[in-house]
Amino acid sequence: MSEGNKKNNREFILNARVRAYQQMMPESVEFRSKERILSEEDKQAIGRAIWFVVKKGWGCSTSVQRVTGSFDNVPTGVIEKGLRQTFPEGFFVQLAKAKNKQVAKDMFDISLDRV
């Protein structure tokens, strides 16, 4: 398989994951002790945050902060709660652990290169 096909396959898989998670987005979230039915703009904001998580590998708070600037009418809490309800419980904790483990491996590999 050529390098170009590998990249296209990876992009296809990532795009499929984004769409799958976006379809799992909740219809409503609890916000300020009330049930809030998500508007189309709310769903777009949460969908964009999902994209940042899956495609960029960003955590929940980073994705939410990035999206908040583009969607002024959507409260940060709505985006965060929608994002957390979309992904499985404990997803973001495991994502952080995996990223920390990779950083440690990268630092160890760099230190070995210098020896």
Residue range 35-53: mean pLDDT, rounded:
96
What pLDDT does residue 3 have?
Answer: 66
What pLDDT does residue 114 have?
Answer: 53
Tell me how many helices (H) and strands (E) the chain has: 5, 2
Q: Angle 17-19-25 (CA atoms, 0-180°, nearest 5)?
A: 105
pTM of the predicted model as reported, rounded to 2 decimal places:
0.83
Residue range 3-13: mean pLDDT, rounded:
80
Q: Report whether 49 contacts 67 (CB < 8 A).
A: yes
Residue where the block lists tokens 């809030």: 36
pLDDT digits (tens, 9 = 90+) for 81-113: 999 999 999 999 998 888 888 877 777 766 555
